[in-house]
A and B are shown apart, each in its own frame.
Chain A
Amino acid sequence: MNQHKEVLYGLYDDEEVLLKAVRKAKSDHLDIMDVFSPFPVHGLDDALELTESRLHITGFIFGAIGTLTAFLFMTWVFTRDWPIIFGGKPYFSAPAFIPITFELTVLFASIGMVVTFYTICGMGPGVTNPTLDDRITDDKFCIAFDVTGAEAKQVDKLRAFLSSTGAGEVNAKEI
């Protein structure tokens, strides 16, 4: 599924140094593939110029589907398919449907968002995720560049950038 990639990455010891490096990369118009960090770094999304996730829009759509599913299904069951009188109420009793409508809305929205998120990220059962370096889940901060098919001159430039901005270690890896 994933393309074979050659990655050049630098490991930083400190998140402040990382942030400075990311900002410099942006001003130098270098194309960062990804940044890895063991914990959320304040201001990193801003520095990477990430825009707001659109995941919550899918949440709204799935929620609306849940609302309709629950309400229409109950309406069909209690007025067409199997009408039973409960407590002397009419067959179509909207107030009685509300709690279940609410619950299905929440269920559809949450499960829909999880499935969407996993699909977009290419995650799921049986998928192995390549890591550049085990220490980026521990105490190192990493900036990675995609150098698949890049010229040697370009790779050298990136290598020089990484070491000049304070990366303690610069490695290349195929994933």
Chain B
Amino acid sequence: MNQFTFEAKQKTVLTGFMILGLVCLAITFFTDDALHTRFWTNYLHNTVFFTGIALMSLFIMAAFTTAWAGWYVGMKRIWEAYSMFLIPGLGLLLVVILGLWGHLHHLYHWADAEEVAQDAVLTGKASFLNKSWYTFGTLIIVGMWIFFAYKIRQISIDEDANGKGFADNFRHHRRIRVFSAIFLPIAGFSSAAMIWQWIMSVDAHWYSTMFAWYTGASWFVAAMALTILLLIYLKGLGYFEHITQDHLHDLGKFLFAFSVFWTYLWFSQYMLIWYANVGEETVYFFERMQNYKFLFFANLVINFALPFLVLMRNDNKRKNGPMVFAAIMVFVGHWLDFFLMIKPGTRHTAMEALGGHGDHAEHAISFAMGYTIPGLLEIGTMLGFLAFFFYVALNQLTKASLVPKNDPYIKEATHHHVWPYIE
């Protein structure tokens, strides 16, 4: 089966989860503090997480194309479909932007003009951390990503429909490669700027030069995990017959390698700050190790130890069971990672605005469901966003043949072998 049909049952299930997500968001909104901090942090957390996964899907595809890789083209429709989530992602971000201008939320300390005026650090950062930069940066940069995602997908589908012979197919492929090569440096630099704006600036005083890489790696691993899960699911339904355990093996290597890469970045950021022991820098980790101890260490166990030990063996990367287990763990782990990036900073901002802890008191703050650990509402919201993501992606999958039959590398991809031994 080369043509994907989005069945009514799948639509019902995904819609059900989307409604669950909306209900959870609504409950959070009405049971929240005066600033609706829990609601807005959940919203920002999931929006940024899934938009980033869409960006990384496009990035993966662009990087592979530029590297003349052939093995992945049999599954490139999945990444094309994922990258299309950038469009609803921008829509979701617009809500955050509206909230920023309408003072509907208090996510960002730097958005408060009075606070900035009395604060030397924030005044110094005001040329970057301001509402205009946030708004137009998001619009222009995500707009650019959408342009490239749309363009690459358009050429790829056109190649399928109108490719006339090898020379013409290769001409299509070369155009994709030109767009990919232009996109890569743009994505590299612009994603860093957006990560600083969206995520790092919730701790407005703090900064780390490793942060953008670290967050990007987190997105990358999450995107890989979702790719593996969707592929195994669709293969179980009888689609993607041309994707073999050899392709799964390579995806497993990526999941393994980038989990280790993420850990490397996590540790590099942590160790330099720990060693230098400068107060402005250590505050980030101090806060998390004091008040979010469980999540802080669980983050490392789930995102490093588990995939490292599960995926180390060659044959585990070729079995559906261990791969699904590792992919789910790592996906949840990186969702928690983003939770840990966003919640502590916004919680402090909100507490200051609500009148408590105005003196930056660095003592243990009380346990709070939805902050110290994710509560049921957070999990429900995540499932809602996940369903939305898959709804968009599966809807996009119906729009083109699952096998890009005119891609010059499709033969190489179908004959991909990485395992010389008998299973």
On A, residues with C-beta under 8 Å from B are: 43-46, 49-52, 56, 60, 87-89, 95-96, 98-99
A88 surroundings in chain B (CB, below 8 A)? 277
**Of B274, B312, B422, which one neighbours A95 at CB under 8 angstroms?**
B274
B275 contacts which chain A residues (CB < 8 A)? 87, 89, 95-96
Looking at the complex, which one of A46, A56, A87, A99 makes contact with B422 (CB distance below 8 Å)? A46
In the complex, which residues of chain B have a beta carbon less than 8 angstroms from the beta carbon of A51?
Answer: 421-422
Contact A52 B421 (CB under 8 A): yes
| A95 neighbours in B (Cβ, 8 Å) | 267, 270-271, 274-275
Cα distance, A99 to B264, chains bound together (Å): 10
Q: Is the CB of B421 within 8 A of A46?
A: yes
- In the assembled complex, the Cα of A89 lies from the Cα of B421 at a distance in Å of 51
Shortest distance between the CB of A89 and any CB in chain B (Å) = 8
**Is B314 a contact of A52 with CB atoms below 8 Å?**
yes
Taken together as a complex, chains A and B put the C-alpha atoms of A44 and B314 apart, in Å, by: 20
Distance A98 CA – B272 CA, assembled complex (angstroms) = 12
Counting CB contacts under 8 A, is B420 at the interface? yes
Q: Is B267 in contact with A45, judged by CB distance below 8 angstroms?
A: no
- Interface range on chain B: under 10, 10 to 19, 20 to 34, or 35 or more? 10 to 19
A56 to B422, CA, bound (A): 17
Q: A52-B314, A98-B271 are in contact. List 15 more A-B contacts (CB 8 A).
A: A43-B420, A45-B421, A46-B420, A49-B422, A50-B420, A51-B422, A56-B314, A60-B312, A87-B275, A88-B277, A89-B275, A95-B270, A95-B275, A98-B267, A99-B271
Q: Please provide the chain B residues from 373 to 423 with a CB less than 8 Å away from any CB of chain A in the complex.
A: 420-422
Pairs across A and B, CB under 8 Å, 7 listed: A46-B421, A60-B312, A87-B275, A95-B271, A95-B275, A98-B267, A98-B271
Q: How far is the CA of A95 from the CA of B300 in the complex (A)?
A: 13
Closest to B276 in A: A87
A46 — which chain B residues lie within 8 A by C-beta? 420-422
Among residues of A, the one whose C-beta sits closest to the C-beta of B268 is A99
Q: How far does the Cβ of A48 sit from chain B's closest Cβ, in whole Å?
A: 10
What 1/0 flags go to B296-316 for Cβ under 8 Å of A? 000000000000000010110
Q: Shortest beta-carbon distance, A43 to chain B, in Å?
A: 8
Q: Could you tell me the distance in whole angstroms from the C-beta of B156 to the nearest C-beta in chain A?
A: 30
Compute how far the CA of A133 lies from the CA of B401 in the bound complex, rounded to whole angstroms: 53
A44 CA / B422 CA spacing, docked (Å):
11
> Could you tell me the distance between the alpha carbons of A96 and B274 in the complex, rounded to whole angstroms?
9
Q: Are A45 and B274 in contact (CB under 8 A)?
A: no
Q: Which residues from A are CB-within-8-Å of B315?
A: 52
- A88 and B282 CA atoms in complex are apart in Å by 15
Q: Mark B253-279, 1 if CB is under 8 A from A, else 0.
A: 000000000000001001100110100
- Within 8 Å CB of B420, what residues of A? 43-46, 50
- 5 smallest beta-carbon distances between A and B, as pairs: A45-B420, A52-B421, A95-B271, A95-B274, A51-B421
Q: Mark B305-331, 1 if CB is under 8 A from A, else 0.
A: 000000010110000000000000000
